[in-house]
């Protein structure tokens, strides 16, 4: 071997050693790379390893200078352009990072991590379809196993049953193949089996804690399953490794918003917008966080920025309408009408425009035109909602047969004895946010938001049941004293993340918890339960005018919402009989008419001394994320009580469905 060959061999050996050091000892890798460069100045591979080492040690600016130069001198190196993309993202140049990733993939279409990173960036800027395609390519290129390649091809082609069958067959032979487990979790997520997806991803990370892609999927699934504490824990782990990765930052802002930490969420969105200033969806999310934090002016500016960037963004117009206090100009109304003429407009944008126009015409007192747009919006939305009126009615009223006076006598004294929680239940749009705002103005009470924990616990009881044919209520009755105690303790432990102060009481205002009164009473017998009730016509039509971000599938049809309200009143009448004086009811109309009297009664039920500040609830600056957020920041608006009467000529379906529930209000009719 001649001296030239020996030198090349020596450099190659040194490069190989440096590469191995990157993960174990990046500072030593930097030293080794500099030694190579001293012997071979401008060696591209050594420069790349040096830049990677610098990035790992937090020297991002110096690494970026090297990678920028390398990208120019090495236009055909996929690996150089991949790391250049990472550096661009870290420098806040998100759109340039996307371009660099696309160039990487044009050079090497099988670069798995480039596909994953591209998917995250595209998802962050709102290009959902392109992001989905990138994620599919990530899965497709993540394995060389022929069996998994076949399953990935089936998944990529949307042949879900075929992909699932292939993966299960493979896992029967190789049960610890984490790539296959993650692919199966992806299928579970796509078909709505989120619980299965969560378990599969947990198993992935059990087997391979360093499987970053699986951890990202796990954080998202936990968020979707309302396990916010656990999602934050996974994001903390991910961001300890790479705090600038856009997908992790975006999801963290979303989760923080859900737990009420709007200040931190706003900071994340502002940094994302400095990286991606022309992305309408980030501006939209930023507007939501600002709205909840009480910064209405900046939230309006953010929503309008969405419209400036994407004129057909129907949801931004609805977000403006959903402020309730915003008024559209004639020009804005005409612009929305013009968009509806576009035959290519998506249903998603169309129904948001229709809801917004309903509000625009309501404000101008053109109630016939307003109702027509509300009706159009609900009809479009209803097409994508699975709601069975009769089945829901049966499910809602099942508690009447299960929870008897004798059952509650037998269970008396069980559960966790804490009296911290104050539950506000009832129908959506019945005034629960107003009650929360009043109570949270008290020095001893903290307002949180609509917490998912009762529903999560109910789901877990059903899943863990040893009686597969039973419903969760029946399983609940079989639990012993220790198990009921643990449920209450679990609820309080899980809700800690929502509490930002050391006040002794806190509010959970998930309205649909009225279907879980039996569970609440058994696991937390000393908790307070407040039923927020509003005139059925007023409450139901207010719900019909509202597009909910999630849930409330009954609200998009007048007969559906009328039946749901009737079932709610029926169920509450039952609990009034079997748990007399357990639940305090507040009629919205009474609160409007005799505010101080009703507030004093409310505080007395909660065992709280009267405080004048509760009368000045509109001065409370706490974050509020429900549709009533702006309304409860103003004194009570008495003129809104009977607004439904403006629409009475078109509400026959609602009237007929409600029947004597509406006729006898506020009295409770007799039910069988």
Helix (H, G, I), strand (E, B) or coil at 506: strand
- The residue among 505, 511, 506 whose CA lies nearest residue 534 is 511
Q: What is the pLDDT of residue 560?
A: 96
With 80 as the cut, is the pLDDT of residue 623 above it?
A: no
Task: Indicate the domain borders of the chain.
Answer: 311-384, 411-618+625-663
pTM of the model: 0.79
Candidate from 108-122, 309-323, 445-459, 489-503 with smallest mean pLDDT: 108-122
Q: Write the pLDDT tens digit of every residue in 464-523.
A: 776 655 678 989 999 999 999 999 999 999 998 888 889 999 999 999 999 999 999 999
Compute the distance between CA of residue 206 and CA of residue 655 in angstroms, rounded to an integer. Answer: 55
Q: Write the pLDDT tens digit of every residue in 359-375.
A: 999 999 999 999 999 99
With 50 as the cut, is the pLDDT of residue 145 above it?
A: yes
- What single string gives the DSSP state of each residue in 289-300? HHHHTT-HHHHH
As given in the structure block, the two tokens for residue 174 are 């190789």
Whether the CB-CB separation of 91 and 60 falls below 8 Å is answered with yes
The mean pLDDT value for 139-165 works out to 81
Q: In what helix (H) or strand (E) does residue 421 lie, and over which residues does it extend?
A: strand 421-426
- Residue 421, strand partner residues: 506
Candidate from 184-198, 463-477, 557-571, 628-642 with smallest mean pLDDT: 628-642
- Confidence label for 129 from pLDDT (cuts 50, 70 and 90): confident
Compute the distance between CA of residue 169 and CA of residue 162 in angstroms, rounded to an integer. Answer: 11
Q: Give residue for tokens 């006898």.
A: 664
Q: Give residue for tokens 């009737």.
A: 566
State phi, psi for 247 to the nearest 5 degrees. Answer: -60, -40
The mean pLDDT value for 405-428 works out to 95
The mean pLDDT value for 210-232 works out to 90
Q: What is the pLDDT of residue 49?
A: 86
92 Cβ contact list (under 8 Å, min separation 6): 271, 274, 275
- The residue among 187, 260, 268 whose CA lies nearest residue 221 is 187
Q: Write the pLDDT tens digit of every residue in 226-272.
A: 888 899 999 999 998 877 778 888 899 999 988 888 889 999 999 98
As given in the structure block, the two tokens for residue 335 are 């612009």
- Confidence label for 629 from pLDDT (cuts 50, 70 and 90): very low
What is the overall mean pLDDT for the chain?
88
Candidate from 161-175, 319-333, 392-406, 464-478 with smallest mean pLDDT: 464-478
Q: What is the pLDDT of residue 192?
A: 82
Q: Write the pLDDT tens digit of every residue in 525-542.
A: 999 999 999 999 999 999
Q: What is the 3-state secondary structure (H, E, C) of 422-464?
A: EEEEECCCCCHHHHHHHHHCCCCEEEEECCCHHHHHHHHHHHC
Whether the CB-CB separation of 171 and 177 falls below 8 Å is answered with yes
Candidate from 448-462, 518-532, 610-624, 629-643 with smallest mean pLDDT: 629-643
- Confidence label for 5 from pLDDT (cuts 50, 70 and 90): very low
Q: Write the pLDDT tens digit of every residue in 44-99.
A: 888 888 888 888 888 888 888 999 999 999 999 999 999 999 888 888 788 889 99
657 Cβ contact list (under 8 Å, min separation 6): 558, 559, 562, 563, 566
- Which class is domain 411-618+625-663? alpha beta
Q: What is the pLDDT of residue 318?
A: 97
Q: What is the pLDDT of residue 602?
A: 97
CB atoms within 10 A of CB 414: 19
Per the rule left: phi > 0, alpha: psi between -120 and 50, beta: everything else, 70 is alpha
């Amino acid at each position: 071997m001649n001296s030239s060959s020996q030198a090349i061999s020596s450099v190659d050996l040194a490069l190989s050693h440096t590469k191995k050091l990157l993960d174990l000892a990046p500072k030593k890798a930097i030293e080794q790379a500099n030694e190579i460069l001293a012997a071979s100045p401008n060696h591209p591979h050594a420069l790349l390893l040096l830049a990677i080492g610098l990035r790992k040690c937090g020297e991002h600016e110096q690494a970026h200078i090297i990678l920028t130069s390398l990208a120019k001198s090495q236009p055909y190196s996929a690996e150089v352009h991949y790391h250049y993309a990472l550096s661009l993202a870290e420098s806040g140049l998100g759109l340039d990072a996307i371009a660099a990733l696309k160039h990487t993939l044009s050079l090497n279409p099988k670069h798995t991590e480039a596909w994953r990173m591209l998917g995250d960036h595209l998802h962050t800027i709102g290009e959902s379809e392109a992001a989905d395609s990138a994620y599919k390519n990530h899965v497709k290129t993540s394995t060389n196993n022929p069996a998994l390649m076949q399953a990935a091809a089936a998944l990529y082609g949307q042949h879900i049953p075929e992909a699932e069958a292939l993966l299960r067959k493979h896992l029967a032979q190789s049960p610890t193949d984490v790539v296959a487990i993650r692919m199966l979790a992806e299928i579970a997520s796509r078909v709505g089996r989120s619980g299965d997806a969560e378990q599969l991803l947990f198993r992935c990370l059990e087997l391979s804690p360093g499987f970053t892609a699986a951890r990202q999927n796990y954080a998202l699934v936990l968020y979707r399953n309302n396990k916010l504490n656990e999602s934050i824990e996974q994001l903390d782990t991910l961001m300890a490794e790479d705090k600038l990765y856009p997908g992790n930052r975006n999801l963290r802002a979303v989760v923080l918003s859900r737990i009420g930490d709007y200040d931190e969420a706003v900071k994340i969105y502002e940094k994302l917008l400095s990286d991606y200033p022309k992305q309408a969806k980030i501006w939209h999310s930023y507007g939501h966080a600002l709205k909840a934090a009480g910064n209405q002016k900046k939230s309006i500016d953010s929503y309008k920025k969405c419209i400036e960037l994407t004129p057909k963004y129907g949801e931004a117009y609805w977000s403006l309408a959903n402020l309730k206090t915003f008024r559209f100009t004639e020009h804005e109304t005409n612009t929305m009408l013009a968009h509806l003429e576009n035959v290519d407009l998506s249903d998603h944008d169309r129904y948001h425009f229709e809801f917004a126009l309903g509000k625009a015409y309501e404000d101008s007192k053109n109630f016939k035109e307003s109702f027509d747009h509300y009706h159009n919006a609900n009809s479009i939305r209803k097409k994508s909602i699975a709601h069975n009126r009769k089945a829901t009615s049966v499910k809602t009223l099942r508690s009447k047969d299960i929870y008897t006076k004798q059952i509650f006598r037998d269970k008396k004294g069980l559960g966790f004895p804490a009296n911290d929680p104050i539950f506000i239940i009832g129908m959506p749009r019945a005034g629960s946010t107003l009650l929360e705002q009043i109570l949270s103005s008290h020095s001893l009470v903290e307002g949180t938001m609509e917490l998912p924990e009762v529903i999560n616990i109910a789901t877990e009881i059903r899943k863990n049941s040893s009686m597969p044919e039973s419903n969760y209520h029946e399983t609940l009755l079989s639990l012993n004293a220790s198990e009921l105690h643990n449920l209450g303790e679990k609820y309080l432990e899980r809700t800690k993340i929502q509490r930002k102060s050391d006040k002794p009481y806190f509010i959970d205002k998930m309205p649909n918890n009225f279907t879980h009164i039996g569970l609440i009473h058994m696991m937390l017998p000393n908790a307070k339960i407040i039923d927020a009730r509003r005139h059925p016509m007023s409450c139901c039509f207010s719900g019909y005018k509202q597009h909910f971000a999630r849930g409330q599938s009954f609200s998009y049809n007048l007969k559906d919402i009328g039946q749901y309200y009737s079932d709610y009143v029926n169920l509450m009448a039952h609990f009034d009989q079997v748990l007399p004086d357990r639940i305090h009811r507040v009629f919205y109309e009474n609160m409007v008419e005799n505010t101080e009297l009703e507030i004093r009664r409310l505080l007395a039920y909660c065992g709280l001394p009267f405080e004048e500040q509760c009368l000045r609830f509109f001065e409370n600056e706490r974050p509020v994320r429900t549709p009533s957020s702006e309304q409860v920041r103003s004194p009570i608006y008495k003129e809104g009580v009977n607004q439904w009467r403006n629409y009475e000529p078109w509400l026959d379906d609602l009237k007929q469905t409600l029947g004597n529930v509406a006729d006898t209000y506020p009295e409770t009719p007799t039910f069988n």
